[in-house]
Amino acid sequence: MALLTLVRDLLQTPAVATALWIGSIVAVVSGCAGVFTVVRGQSFAGHALGDVGSTGAAAAYLTAVQPLYGFLGIGLLGGLAIDRLGNRARERDVATGIVLSLTMGLSALLLFLITEQTSATGGPLSILFGSIFTVAPAVTLPVELFSLLALGLLAVLYRPLVFASLSPETARARGVRVGLVGTLFMVALVIAVEESSLVAGALLSTALLIGPAAAAVNWTRQIGHTLALSAFLGVAAVVLGIVLSYESYFWPPLHRGWPVSFFIVMLVLVEYIASRLWRRRREATA
Amino acid sequence: MTRGRAYLIAGLVALLVIAAAALVFATGSPAAKPAAQQKTLVVLGAENEYANVLAQVGGRYVRAIGIMSNPSTDPHTYEASTTNAREVAQASLVVQNGLGYDSFMQKLEANAPSTRRIILTVASIVGAPPSTENPHLWYRPSTMPAVAQSVAKALSQLEPQHKSYFARRAAAFDRSLGPWRQALAKLRQDFHGAKVVVTEPVADYLLQAAGLDVATPWSFQAAVMNGQDPSPQDVSTVDSLISTRQAKVLVYNLQAVEPTTESLLAIAKAHQVPVVGVNETMPAGFDYQHWMLAETQALTAAIGQHKSEVHLK
């Protein structure tokens, strides 16, 4: 019965209901894009995109635009720059590093100007560590649309993307346009990362992208199953994280509530460790 | 291909530099300060309301500078600049709030040691212990008269020949607070115990002095003040105080704006609860006593006649 009361409380608090809905959508997109990110070895680019997007979010705060558009706009620019600059795997990390440091430099300036010029008190903190409970209801529709776009891209690209990710040389020889596939995937990746920056913050968006995907890779063998499990693990971490954050209102320091991003990251870690242990046992018995 | 890539990198760098430069120029740089004159003392208020009292007490013998003087920024997150460091180095008298509100002052003072400089901390003048939760001491009606007395004493120490001048001006300042005190007493008499919702504790001392009941949970106020997200439970509590119109007025801190506080503004508008905007830093065109009077009058008009006044006139 206590559980029923809790669920009713959660859904009747508008901020929490919105958070649960947006958080779940974002977790699905991140979980799916994350599997390809892990398989393609693009974890660093995935992390960098979150930081790159924070520059856009800071600019958005300064100009009173919705932070989501700042995250997405600069994230897309940065993502395409990373994609263009680094064609081979070895160049890719360098290109990512260059784009990352350039935009972070700009970000330092913008975050300073926020404290200096505006009254957006919590700007830097919510950009870097997320603030899912204060996401404006007006953001719900754009998040839904962009998520559909990202999932649509992944669905359309599915076969060539799997092929190009697992063995790019063979794929190229068979006539798959590996470069184009990579660029389009980058668009989906940018959407996934920037949306999860809104939930968990620019610094922690990687956790939602890589964590559930890496755990799912340990648990499954078929890529279809991996995608489904990764999305499920992501949603589980986000929903449970939000519920725990809501409950932490009654923990010390009383009535302050712990940040959602802390719980999400901890839950993702638990999922990943469990998958590693499971895999070790399986390998030991095999 | 490599050349194309080089152009791309160069283009990207140029773009970022231009964007950065444009922003810096767009936000504007302050006009150059005139060199300090020989005869006047440079006195510094960490916040411009203290600078204003310094100027009123010091009169023609001081040049008062306020460090936090932009009413559109949040002092809690302010970072000092090099100009501020120079001003602190020149100052013979500094008035700062304390209680962690302007901790950047301690760094600036440590970087420019001086044996001549007198530092007055308002928290110690009014005897507020370090555990005081609400640092906005200048909203307490008894604070500024005490500050004016201490300032007069410190200035007399620096320039003993003008001692009676400073004492006279401090007394005149105290008298000029009369209309504000009367407005507060009237508010207390007419609307004692009326519930108000605040976004942030900035004006709490004034509201309490006027006998109003600040209904917002402290954890909500503290979260907004510290730039954190208030918990969903607290947000629901505050939302319902406004939407059920239990609160007679929403007191809105114009210098701590967040998605949460903006949504309170929308709820107040939807349920016809009047809104009064308050500042942390003295707005342009006001001196301390008229600023406090204007906010008190705005509150009275909001509770009595349902009039909103987001920006002081």
DSSP A175-236: T--HHHHHHHHHHHHHHHHHHHHHHH-TTTHHHHHHHHHHHHHHH-SSHHHHHHHHHHHHHH
Chain B nearest-CA residue for A137: B263
Per-residue pLDDT, B22: 65
Q: Tell me what the mean pLDDT of segment A181-196 comes to.
A: 95
Per-residue pLDDT, A88: 67
Per-residue pLDDT, B33: 42
pLDDT of A152 strictly over 80: yes
Q: CATH 3.40.50.1980 region(s) of chain B? A: 41-176, 178-305
Per-residue pLDDT, A77: 94
Q: How far is CA A168 from the centre of its chain?
A: 25
Residues of B in contact with A200 (CB under 8 A): none
Q: What distance in Å separates the CA atoms of residue A15 and residue B230, rounded to the nearest whole number?
A: 11
pLDDT digits (tens, 9 = 90+) for B126-152: 999 999 999 999 999 999 999 999 999
B233–A246 CB contact, under 8 Å: yes
Residue B32 — pLDDT band, cuts 50, 70, 90?
very low
Task: Say if B20 is an interface residue toward chain A (CB within 8 Å).
Answer: yes
pLDDT of B284 strictly over 60: yes
CB A86 within 8 A of CB A95: yes
Per-residue pLDDT, A90: 72
Class of domain B178-305: alpha beta
Residue A135 — pLDDT band, cuts 50, 70, 90?
confident
CB B242 within 8 A of CB B267: yes
> Given A116, A124, A136, which is nearest B259 (Cβ)?
A136
Per-residue pLDDT, A122: 66
ipTM: 0.72
pLDDT digits (tens, 9 = 90+) for B40-81: 899 999 999 999 999 999 999 999 999 988 777 777 777 777
Task: Say if B240 is an interface residue toward chain A (CB within 8 Å).
Answer: no
A14 preceded by a cis bond (ω within 30 of 0): no
Indicate whether this model's pTM tops 0.80: no
More confidently predicted of A52 and A14? A52
Mean pLDDT score of chain B:
88
Q: Tell me what the mean pLDDT of segment A81-98 comes to.
A: 82
> A77-91, A133-147, A215-229: which has the minimum mean pLDDT?
A77-91
In sign, the C-alpha dihedral spanning B294, B296, B297, B301 is positive
Per-residue pLDDT, B224: 87
Task: Say if A139 is an interface residue toward chain B (CB within 8 Å).
Answer: no
Per-residue pLDDT, B30: 43
Q: Which long-range contacts (CB under 8 A, 24 or more apart) does A174-179 make?
A: A179/A87
Q: Tell me what the mean pLDDT of segment B294-302 comes to.
A: 96
Residues of B in contact with A15 (CB under 8 A): 232, 235-236
A118–B72 CB contact, under 8 Å: yes
Going by C-alpha positions, the residue among B247, B42, B256, B248 that lies closest to residue B135 is B256
CB A140 within 8 A of CB A214: no
Does residue B133 sit in helix, strand or coil? coil
Residue type, B172: A
Q: What distance in Å separates the CA atoms of residue B214 and residue B136, rounded to the nearest whole number?
A: 15
Q: Tell me what the mean pLDDT of segment A4-23 comes to.
A: 87
Q: How far is CA B16 from the centre of its chain?
A: 34
Kindly state the helix (H) or strand (E) to which residue A39 belongs, with its residue range.
Answer: helix A14-40
pLDDT of A173 strictly over 80: yes
Q: Which CATH number fits domain B41-176: 3.90.1150.10, 3.30.460.20, 3.40.50.1980, 3.40.50.720?
A: 3.40.50.1980
Per-residue pLDDT, B24: 61
β strands within chain B, DSSP E: 41-47, 62-68, 93-96, 118-121, 195-198, 213-214, 249-253, 275-278
pLDDT of B2 strictly over 70: no
Kindly state the helix (H) or strand (E) to which residue A157 belongs, with its residue range.
Answer: helix A140-166
Residue A89 — pLDDT band, cuts 50, 70, 90?
low
Sole residue written with tokens 């891209």:
A153
Per-residue pLDDT, B183: 96
Q: What distance in Å separates the CA atoms of residue A196 and residue B127, rounded to the nearest whole number?
A: 47
Q: Tell me what the mean pLDDT of segment A185-202 comes to.
A: 92
Q: Domains of chain A by range and CATH?
A: 13-277 (1.10.3470.10)
Sole residue written with tokens 């115990």:
B193
Residue B37 — pLDDT band, cuts 50, 70, 90?
very low
Sole residue written with tokens 């909500």:
B220
Size of interface A-B (CB pairs under 8 A): 118
Mean pLDDT score of chain A:
89
Residue B256 — pLDDT band, cuts 50, 70, 90?
confident
Per-residue pLDDT, B154: 96
Minimal CA separation from A215 to chain B, in Å = 31
pLDDT digits (tens, 9 = 90+) for B180-225: 999 999 999 999 999 999 999 999 999 999 999 999 999 999 988 8
> A50-54, A237-241, B69-73, B80-84: which has the minimum mean pLDDT?
B69-73
Measured CA to CA in angstroms, residue A58 lies from A17, A32, A53, A136, B76 at distances of 26, 27, 9, 17, 18
B20–A98 CB contact, under 8 Å: no
Residue B299 — pLDDT band, cuts 50, 70, 90?
very high
Structure tokens at B31: 């006009």
Going by C-alpha positions, the residue among A129, A130, A111, A135 that lies closest to residue A121 is A111
Sole residue written with tokens 């007191």:
B251
Sole residue written with tokens 């559109």:
B72
Sole residue written with tokens 């503004």:
B265
CB A121 within 8 A of CB A108: no
Residue A146 — pLDDT band, cuts 50, 70, 90?
very high
Per-residue pLDDT, A121: 59
Per-residue pLDDT, B74: 76
Structure tokens at B104: 């950047």
Going by C-alpha positions, the residue among A42, A223, A14, A84 that lies closest to residue B233 is A14
pLDDT digits (tens, 9 = 90+) for A110-120: 888 877 666 66
- Mark out the alpha helices in B28-121 (DSSP H runs): 48-58, 82-90, 104-111
Q: What percent of chain B has pLDDT over 70?
A: 92
CB B54 within 8 A of CB B95: yes
Does residue A73 sit in helix, strand or coil? helix
Per-residue pLDDT, B34: 46
B229–A122 CB contact, under 8 Å: yes
